[in-house]
Structure 1
Amino acid sequence: MEIAVGYAFAWLVGKARRVAGRADAEVDRGLDAGMDRLHELISVKLGDDPALQRAREEAGAGLEEPSQRTRQRLELALEDAAEHDAGFAAALVRLVAELQMAGPVDTAADTGSSRATGGGTASTGVVRPGGAGCGTATAQHTGDATADGAGSRASTGVDYS
């Protein structure tokens, strides 16, 4: 439920910013669509629940995260709804899993330098060993990464090795 609350609040914050005209120009459409579906599911189920109303107020006030009390109340409201409606519970689990599959948006920008010696590894960007995970990754203006000595490794930018 904690993850669902996090996504729901992120949607509310994004909505508040769009209404205020401060939305970022570049939006991950798949993630945005998934968050829209999650918000719709939660809004229909909880309706005018005070916890959801308070979360809307906090997002509209510019908070990046709900207060601890609002988070707890919203989690409890979702848990209660899920306990009493198996269809809602299944849909909530599915949508949260879809959002998690969309993966993170990893960004490295304006990093400093790093140096690996004696078999170490150094990176000044985004590292996803073996291509782990999914989602987008970008690196801009990364610093120098240098490797000295046998077995040392350095990378700059996005590294999926």
Structure 2
Amino acid sequence: MFPGVEIAVGYLFAWAVRKLGTAADRQVDQALDTGIDRLHTLVSDRLGADDPALQQAAEEARDGQDELAVDTRQWLALTINNAAKKDEEFAKALMVAVEAVQAAARAAGGASAGGDGIAIGGDAEIHAAGGSVAAVRIDGPVTVGIPANPQQPGAEKG
């Protein structure tokens, strides 16, 4: 996947939500607003405003969803990625547009993460006590300590 595609998808959905009035009461920083508009124009010009993946994202925004459905997010990301593979100028322009929106979001006090990252804007505190585990995200199994009477492999329970 080309760098920035997944991030672009999130911003495109934010554009659709904002433009379709489902978040009309929110004030958006002008630089961020302009950057998202430019990103949307770049992508919709390249894909075509009637692109099915873009249309599905707009429909989900109209329906008031807070975020894109997983399959729509993947579909739009793959559509944009395929366009970037075929058009090096588009790929470069996409990267510049995503970086500009991220910079505007940071300047507006927002947090930004790429790929499968987690962004926290502001203070965050994670605390574990009494032999427990605390994390923002844990990918995989976690074992804390050794059980008092561990089951031996092949031994019958009882």
Measured against the shorter chain, the TM-score band is 0.5 to 0.7
Give distance in 2, aligned partners of 1:80 and 1:25.
Answer: 33
Task: Name the aligned partner's letter for residue 52 of structure 1.
Answer: L
Give distance in 2, aligned partners of 1:31 and 1:71.
Answer: 21
TM-superposed CA distance for 1:49, in Å, is 1.7
Matched, 1:11 2:15: yes
Runs of 4+ in 1 over 2 A off after TM superposition: 24-27, 104-107, 125-128
Matched, 1:61 2:51: no
Give distance in 2, aligned partners of 1:25 and 1:65.
Answer: 16
RMSD: 2.3
Superposition pairs for residues 1-161 of structure 1, below 5 Å? 1-17=5-21, 23-24=24-25, 26-47=27-48, 48-102=50-104, 103=106, 105-106=109-110, 126-127=122-123
> 5+ residue gaps in structure 2?
112-120, 125-158
Normalising by structure 1, we get a TM-score of 0.61
Bigger relative contact order (CA 8 A; separation at least 6): 2
Give distance in 1, aligned partners of 2:7 and 2:73.
Answer: 10
Give distance in 2, aligned partners of 1:72 and 1:37.
Answer: 22
TM-superposed CA distance for 1:105, in Å, is 2.9
Aligned residues: 108
Percent pairwise identity: 50
Give distance in 2, aligned partners of 1:65 and 1:57.
Answer: 12
* Structure with the higher fraction of residues in strand conformation: 1
TM-superposed CA distance for 1:27, in Å, is 2.3
Task: Name the aligned partner's letter for residue 14 of structure 2.
Answer: A
Larger radius of gyration between Structure 1 and Structure 2: 2
Relative distance call for 1:24 and 1:105 in structure 2 (3 A) is farther
Normalising by structure 2, we get a TM-score of 0.63
Deviations 1:83-122 (A, max 9, x none): 0011110000001011111216359xxxxxxxxxxxxxxx
Contact 1:82 1:89 in 2 (8 A): yes
> 5+ residue gaps in structure 1?
108-124, 129-161
Deviations 1:64-85 (A, max 9, x none): 1110010010000000000001
TM-superposed CA distance for 1:57, in Å, is 0.5
Contact 1:3 1:96 in 2 (8 A): yes
Please name the residue that 2:148 is paired with.
Answer: none
